[in-house]
Structure 1
Amino acid sequence: MRGSEFAELTAFAAVVEHHSFSRAAAHLGVTPSALSQTLRALEGRLGVRLINRTTRSVAPTQAGAKLAERLAPLLSELDASIHDVKSTRNAQSGLLRINLPRLACEYFITPLLGEFARAYPEIVLDIIIDDALTDIVAGRFDAGIRLGERLAQDVVAVKLGGELELMAVATPEYLAEHGIPATPNDLHQHRCINVRMPTSGAIYKWEFQKGRREFEVAVAGPLIVNDSTTAVHAAVDGVGIAYTFDLQVQRFIAAGKLKRVLEAWSPRFPGMYLYYPGRRQPPPTLKAFIDFVRKHVRS
């Protein structure tokens, strides 16, 4: 492959990743007009349109999507190879890109940032908070954090913390006024705070379990949010009943601001895992991060 062809493919991958010519150009350190010219050269050489561009959006065509799917792991592996070579010069320096949901960042990573920066001053952490199920290979991340049941089969995973439990909570004042639900079906008579799923955009159906029986309940109420932290604060303000993981509500329960309901029906989950692609050994910077997190986060 000639150098110009590699530059064209790298430019194309950046546009697909960032969904924007201006953001991709800034990432590559070129002007948007130069980037557009490079993409036109690639499309001309291949004889097919790869990108659909309007005033509002940038998206790959069907042919472009197929090329991007094949190209992403190749570029990721190339980046990793170059990163590994550079790491032999200084095993504790370089850029480390981590993709993780807000819950994991808030409770596992944010409390460690200061100490990690002091321990590894030459490592630059690029943390992307993302509640969607992003493909870390396609997004060219070094690692990610995700719930255990959402992990792919071909990754190496390191457990962070213990199990997580879903908890339905409301203020004592709300429950005094509206009553305490005895079963999940009673939620149909309550004001519930809904959460929109970041990946699908669908409203999350509340999951319950008792013994071997598992089922979902579609609830209704005065508020829909796409962030569980907002749902918890709304519950504290008396909006209604929220349903989220124990990590987010335990301090409010301990302070008497929230009260738990439907405890016998709440399911438990394996918890959060730090993971990375399993086809290669982690570079020294990632290994340093994994070892640091494992040391400081209780299993």
Structure 2
Amino acid sequence: MNEDFNDLAGFITVARERNFTRAAAQLGVSQSALSRTVAGLERRIGLQLLTRTTRSVSLTEAGERLLSAIRPRFEEIEAEVASLRGMTNRPSGTVRITTTDYAANTFVWPRLQPLLRRYPELKIELVNDYGLADIVADRFDIGVRLGDQIEKDMVAVRIAPDMTMCIVGSPKYLQSRPHAKRPQDLTLHSCINLRLPTRDSLLPWELSKGRRELQVRVEGQLTFNNVYQMVDAALAGFGLAYVPKDLVEQYVRAGKLAWVLEDWCPTFVGHHAYYSTGRKSSRAVQLVVDALKAGYQSGR
């Protein structure tokens, strides 16, 4: 019976990762052993669960049905074990968090450092991603996103003030280009883009002035998936960047960057930490959320 449970856990991991190598690494077994485990499960069931090619692994119809039936139950067991572990005075285990590089550097990581020093057995896995990950499907404990990006069935806690976006460029760059008086003038400029991984597209520049709201698609020489590289490129004179305002205010004050279309800068609902209502949160998860919330309430 124990072997059956191990086989099912192996199948779930392969189905989630769509890759035997990554799944084996997570489980701490060899790829060949995991392949034999899943093959044995298929023989006992009498159905093929996975379609294997040299490059990918996909679920068959039977595999999809089995996964949808057993994964929620395994997740309930894992959550309950984590909850029981959290009843001790020394919370332990790994809390997986998905966020963006801006949020991680600005307030998530600074607020987690005192918590990690207080609880040395607590582990944090912090993943920077602009893809708006599904925290349930991707097995994250906590997500950190802007308030209007969170699904309604999540428990959400505000951890940051509203965020204003802005457009900036270096004085040297702006000297060689026409002055931008309206959003349409951005077509005359080299703009630094941000790549969105899951949508396979570039982040549109959302602008607003009074009741007018626009989404502008821009073009330029550079595309990054990291806002800090975008700021560096703007400082180096490679074009205009659309980034959080508080990230570049110091450079504007120092004369290294200048505002562009300042009256079109939009403000968005601030970042929230959120987690699924369908999973019981462990004490470790709750401690992380409380630390992020406390930092916002204290203004740190």
TM-score, normalised by the number of residues in structure 2: 0.91
SS of the residue corresponding to residue 201 of structure 2 reads coil
**Deviations, residues 233-257 of structure 1 (Å, cap 9, x unaligned):** 1111111011122233223223221
The equivalent of 2:283 in structure 1 is 284
TM-aligned CA distance change 1:45 to 1:256, over 3 Å: farther
* Residues 163, 269 of structure 1: 8 Å contact kept: yes
> Which has the higher mean CA deviation after the structures are superposed, 232-241 or 115-124?
115-124
CA distance in 2, matches of 1:151, 1:57: 31
TM-aligned CA distance change 1:146 to 1:260, over 3 Å: same
The equivalent of 1:208 in structure 2 is 207
TM-aligned CA distance change 1:21 to 1:276, over 3 Å: same
* Residues 169, 239 of structure 2: 8 Å contact kept: yes
CA distance in 1, matches of 2:72, 2:227: 32
Q: Which residue type is aligned with residue 290 of structure 2?
A: D
CA offset at residue 58 of structure 1? 3.2
CA distance in 2, matches of 1:102, 1:16: 28
The equivalent of 1:134 in structure 2 is 133
SS of the residue corresponding to residue 178 of structure 1 reads coil
CA distance in 1, matches of 2:152, 2:69: 19
**Deviations, residues 72-115 of structure 1 (Å, cap 9, x unaligned):** 43332221111112222345223222222222111112223432
The equivalent of 1:151 in structure 2 is 150
The equivalent of 1:106 in structure 2 is 105
CA distance in 2, matches of 1:206, 1:195: 10
> Which has the higher mean CA deviation after the structures are superposed, 67-76 or 285-294?
67-76
The equivalent of 1:95 in structure 2 is 94
CA distance in 1, matches of 2:290, 2:66: 36
SS of the residue corresponding to residue 213 of structure 2 reads strand
TM-aligned CA distance change 1:220 to 1:213, over 3 Å: same
CA distance in 2, matches of 1:75, 1:248: 42
* Residues 173, 239 of structure 2: 8 Å contact kept: yes
CA distance in 2, matches of 1:213, 1:74: 48
CA offset at residue 205 of structure 1? 2.0
* Residues 91, 284 of structure 1: 8 Å contact kept: no
Q: Which residue type is aligned with residue 92 of structure 2?
A: S
SS of the residue corresponding to residue 88 of structure 1 reads coil
CA distance in 2, matches of 1:65, 1:248: 44
CA offset at residue 52 of structure 1? 3.1
CA offset at residue 264 of structure 1? 1.3
* Residues 90, 121 of structure 2: 8 Å contact kept: no
* Residues 83, 280 of structure 2: 8 Å contact kept: no
CA offset at residue 33 of structure 1? 0.8
CA distance in 1, matches of 2:198, 2:115: 31
* Residues 76, 279 of structure 2: 8 Å contact kept: no
The equivalent of 1:85 in structure 2 is 84
CA distance in 2, matches of 1:33, 1:168: 52
CA offset at residue 71 of structure 1? 4.2
- CA-atom RMSD in angstroms: 2.1
Matches of residues 1-299 of structure 1 in structure 2 within 5 Å? 2-61=1-60, 63-65=62-64, 67-279=66-278, 281-298=280-297
CA distance in 2, matches of 1:66, 1:103: 39
CA offset at residue 4 of structure 1? 3.0
SS of the residue corresponding to residue 127 of structure 1 reads strand
Q: Which residue type is aligned with residue 5 of structure 2?
A: F
CA distance in 2, matches of 1:29, 1:53: 21
> Which has the higher mean CA deviation after the structures are superposed, 44-53 or 177-186?
44-53
**Deviations, residues 219-246 of structure 1 (Å, cap 9, x unaligned):** 1111122222222211111110111222
CA offset at residue 184 of structure 1? 0.4
Q: Which residue type is aligned with residue 278 of structure 1?
A: T
* Residues 25, 31 of structure 1: 8 Å contact kept: yes
> Which has the higher mean CA deviation after the structures are superposed, 3-12 or 52-61?
52-61
Task: Give me the identity figure in percent.
Answer: 38
SS of the residue corresponding to residue 244 of structure 1 reads strand
TM-aligned CA distance change 1:69 to 1:250, over 3 Å: farther
Q: Which residue type is aligned with residue 159 of structure 2?
A: L
TM-score, normalised by the number of residues in structure 1: 0.91
CA offset at residue 259 of structure 1? 0.9
CA distance in 2, matches of 1:247, 1:46: 57
